[in-house]
Amino acid sequence: MEIERKFLVRKEALPAGLENYPCRVIEQGYICTDPVIRIRRTDDRYTLTVKSRGLLAREEFELPLTEASYEKLSRKTEGLLIRKRRYLIPEKDGLTIELDVFEGEYEGLFLAEVEFRSPEEAASYQPHPWMGTDVTAEGEYQNSRLSSGVPELMKTP
């Protein structure tokens, strides 16, 4: 079960010293968006993920892929391949803030996500002021939706 909250971050609010945090280079695309079937390259790791419907909480299953399988499947994706850098920022209570800095078509978009162990933990979480507007319930900020190319989301307000 994936339980996460997502926040829209303004460029001027980004935390200082991002280069000091671990960073992953991610490219992902969607074979299908209903249900969500995603392929992802994270550095040199390749996965196929199936997700159920939902915004705050949903089922998620991951399977490993080879690089060759990823390359074949990437030619079958719908819409855009999403490219981003994900910074892993330690948070209180053993949590991690995953700050996505988008590249390519979504350059200028910044989203912070935090995964939780329970819906209650998610509900009680107090985000940092820099994290901005909570967009968890706004499905247009799901990466599967972004892959369809949503012009009004290309830039953060």
- Give the residue numbers marked as catalytic: 30
Task: List the structure tokens of 54.
Answer: 């939902």
* Phi, psi torsion values for 41, nearest 5 degrees: -110, 120
DSSP summary character for residue 69: H
User: What does DSSP assign to residue 50?
Assistant: E
Instruction: Report helix, strand and coil shares of the chain as percent, to nearest 5.
Output: 25, 45, 30
Residue position matching structure tokens 């991002």: 18
The token pair that represents 127 in the structure block: 């985000």
